[in-house]
Structure formats: structure tokens, C-alpha cells
Amino acid sequence: MVVLLLVAGAVLVRAYPSVAATTCPRCYGMVPVRDRLYVEPGRSDADRQRLVDVYDAATRRVDDFYRGRRSDPTVLACFTPGCYERIGGGGERGIAILDQALMLSPRGIDPVIAAHELSHVELHVRLGARAGDVPQWFDEGLAVLVADDRRYLLPPTEPDRCRDASPGPLPETLDAWLRAAGADEQVYARAACRVHRWVIAHGGPRAVLDLIDRLRAGDDIATLVTD
């Protein structure tokens, strides 16, 4: 049994280093800044404080939208590309891992990027077993809205925040989303537009909490949200 566990652990590390790293940050040389927040070793006090400030600003955005957080993910932040590659990161700015953790690349140590990934984790934690029922475009568009990402949305002072209101179907699955986003990053703007308009039409952010409750109660998302 011990041998099997060791083999399984070795396979996990090789195949899914990001899962292994977020499960055991210290095993990958990451050091704690505070509870559940880790950074690569050797960073200055200024870098560590910057990370804390970014994370606090990001959590405030999620708290404000969801009226509090139920998630408390482990966060691994890298200031150098080598660190991010070592923990299993790729070309993305940040990524949520199994709804339990998130990783931030050097380009992702920013309140908007961190809030985007925190929104994914928060939504999935609240949905539980129903998380897989939410189409990827809605999940991504909601994360843009929660993070207030001005690359893809106009300022809140605008009556309609859409930067790209192009019609047409949006990717439903993660694989389809990754392909679409790789070809055209503005798919985030189109998804954010759909979600923003849906939220406004249904009474504001509270509509997302109601949607979560209805999904957990067994309702079909296809009857509640369309693209």
C-alpha cells in the first residue's frame, strides 16, 4: 500500500504539478506570507507587501459582489517566470486549481486578475456538485464582472458596460472556451457583456446568488440563463 501511494504521488507530481504545488506549497519551495498565501522565496518585504495588498483588494471585490466569501483558497504567487513554470503554470496570468487554490504568474499579481480567479473559486464552492452545470462563458463573463476588468467592460458609470455586444453562441465547455480565447481574447468581452446584461435585467448582483440557490435546488440552468 505504501509503495502504491508513493507511486501515485510521483505520478501526480509529474502529470499535474500545479495540483501538487497547491496541495503542498512548501514542497515546491514556496514560503508563507500569511495564512494560505504563499510566495516564492527571496522576495523583498516590498514585494511581499505588494502581494498582500493585491490579494486584499481582490478579496474585497469578491466580498462586495457575493456579499461575503465562503471560499478560502490557497494562493501561490510568483514574481519570476521560473517560479511559475516550476509550480506548473503556463502562459496564463492566473489560474484556479480544483476550486481549492489559485496560482498567480508575474503578470497576474494584480487585483483584477486575482479577483477573476477568486470569483471562479467562489462560484464553484457555492454551487458544489452543480458547478459543472454552469456554461463556461457564464463563469468567465461573471469573473470579468466581479473583477471589474476594464479591458472587457466599460466603467460602471456607463449605462451599458458592454465593449463587445456581438451576437452569436459562446463556448459552453472549458475546452471550447480555451480554444476560443486562444484565437480571440475578446471572447471575454462578449461573455462579460451577456452576463452584465443578464445581471442588470434580473435585479443586480443578487440575481447571481438567487441563481446559485435555484441551481442547488435542482433547477435547470438552461431555463434560467441563455446566451
Element (H, E) at 121: helix 111-127
Chosen domain end from 127, 149, 174: 127
36 shares a domain with 107: yes
CA distance readout (Å), 96 to 13, 48, 84, 108, 156: 17, 21, 14, 12, 26
Residue 216 belongs to a domain: yes
* Domain's final residue, options 69, 102, 127: 127
Q: Are residues 184 and 156 in the same domain?
A: yes
105 and 146, same domain (yes or no)? no
The DSSP result for 30-88, as a single string, is: -EEEETTEEE-TT--HHHHHHHHHHHHHHHHHHHHHHTS-----EEEE-SSHHHHHHTT
Q: Are 174 and 222 in contact (CB under 8 A)?
A: no
Per-residue model confidence as pLDDT tens digits over 146-170: 999 999 999 999 989 999 999 999 9
Judge contact between 122 and 102, C-beta under 8 A.
no
Give domain status of residue 165, yes or no: yes
Residue 60 domain-assigned? yes
Q: What is the mean pLDDT of residues 58-71?
A: 97
Number of structural domains the chain divides into: 2
Calculate the average pLDDT of the chain.
Answer: 93
Pick the last residue of a domain from 106, 127, 148: 127
Residues 184/177, Cβ–Cβ less than 8 Å: no
Domain that holds residue 219: 134-227
Q: 162 and 97 in one domain?
A: no
* 153 domain-assigned: yes
In a shared domain, residues 78 and 157: no
User: Does 79 share its domain with 62?
Assistant: yes
3-class DSSP state of 165:
coil
Q: Are residues 159 and 222 in the same domain?
A: yes
Q: 227 and 154 in one domain?
A: yes
User: Which CATH number is 78's domain given?
Assistant: 3.30.2010
pLDDT digits (tens, 9 = 90+) for 91-150: 999 999 988 999 999 999 999 999 999 999 999 999 999 999 999 999 999 999 999 999
CA dist 143 and 139 (Å) reads 6
Q: Does residue 3 surpass a pLDDT of 50?
A: no
Q: DSSP assignment of 169-207, as one string?
A: ----SHHHHHHHHHH-TTHHHHHHHHHHHHHHHTTSTHH
